[in-house]
Amino acid sequence: MPPRPASTRKPRASSQARIAVILDAARALLTEQGVAGLSIYGVAERAQIPPSSVYHFFASVPALLEALTADVHAAFRAALHQPVEHAALRDWRDLARLVEQRMLAIYAADAAARQLILTQHGLAEITRADQQHDLELGQLLQQLFERHFALPPLPADVDVFALALELSDRIYARSVQLHGVVSPRLAEEGMRVFEAYLGLYLPPHLPKRERPLEQLQIASR
């Protein structure tokens, strides 16, 4: 078997540790100063390493921000993989609310997540990365719903679950713009928008499965 291309190899442990230090410094600066205050030299100073070390792994501020955006979405994916008590679900809205509450908990605990996802930074690279991650989250969310409920046929040309996530984020972004955080009032509005959009495609009385499907069954489809 021919060797894998260098670009597919995992970084060495020492490199992974250095990347973690850089991203931690970037996250701290992003929390304190926002996207506009982030610079390679500022990150290097915060991490107490030479700027050349930062440039070795991240050629630009957008590259740093893309890596941080990936970290945030990894937390979102982990939230979707958390256990769900099937017996406690009365209908699909209970699951929708549970998912949004988990997402809101991440936004509440992570100022960098709010800066990256919910503020108007004007960086096209980050917006594209966020949209791509949203598509992946939408697929995971649809799989989660399918585990617990028998979904009706959904349109092939519209990513219903990804759009639902994006729409609720619009409401949360408005709250961050006004208050710096997602307020309880606008958190509730965002959840209502999320449920309302899904309600265009999911009937009010969606059949609940007798027991949840195994994840491998869904992934194999």
Tokens 């291309």 identify what position?
5
Structural domains of the chain, with CATH: 1-59 (1.10.10.60), 66-219 (1.10.357.10)
Q: What percent of the chain has pLDDT over 70?
A: 90
Tokens 């957008």 identify what position?
62
Does the predicted model carry a pTM greater than 0.75? yes
What's the CA gap between 40 and 18, in Å, rounded?
14
Residue bearing the bigger pLDDT, 118 or 130: 118
Per-residue pLDDT band at 155 (split at 50, 70, 90): very high
pLDDT at 4: 44
pLDDT of 100 > 80? The answer is yes
174-192: average pLDDT: 95
Residue bearing the bigger pLDDT, 128 or 103: 103
Per-residue pLDDT band at 125 (split at 50, 70, 90): confident
pLDDT of 209 > 70? The answer is yes
Residue bearing the bigger pLDDT, 11 or 137: 137
User: Facing residues of 208 across strands?
Assistant: 149
167-185: average pLDDT: 95
pLDDT at 80: 96
Query: Which of 34-38, 63-67, 158-162 shows the highest mean pLDDT?
Result: 158-162
pLDDT at 6: 44
What's the CA gap between 104 and 98, in Å, rounded?
10
Q: What is the mean pLDDT of the chain?
A: 88
Classified as helix, coil or strand, 208 is strand
Is the four-CA dihedral 170, 171, 174, 176 of positive or negative sign? negative
What's the CA gap between 23 and 29, in Å, rounded?
10
Tokens of 61: 């501020």
Model pLDDT for residues 9-59, shown as the tens digit of each residue: 555 668 889 999 999 999 999 888 888 888 999 999 999 999 999 999 999
pLDDT at 31: 87
For the chain, the C-alpha Rg in angstroms (whole number) is 20
pLDDT of 199 > 60? The answer is yes
Classified as helix, coil or strand, 35 is helix
**Contact call for residues 181 and 131 (beta carbons, < 8 A):** no
What's the CA gap between 51 and 44, in Å, rounded?
5
pLDDT at 15: 87
- Going from the C-alpha of 114 to that of each of 25, 68, 103, the distances in angstroms are 17, 12, 11
Phi, psi angles (nearest 5°) of residue 174: -60, -40
**Contact call for residues 61 and 38 (beta carbons, < 8 A):** yes
pLDDT of 111 > 80? The answer is yes
The 8 Å CB, 24+ separation contacts for 88-93 are 89/148, 89/208, 91/204, 91/205, 91/206, 91/208, 92/145, 92/148, 92/149, 92/198, 92/202, 92/206, 92/208, 93/195
pLDDT at 5: 45
- DSSP secondary structure code for residue 220 in this structure: T
pLDDT of 73 > 60? The answer is yes
Query: Helices 92-109 & 184-198, crossing angle to 10 degrees?
Result: 140
103-128: average pLDDT: 85
In DSSP notation, 141-152 reads HHHHHHHHB-PP
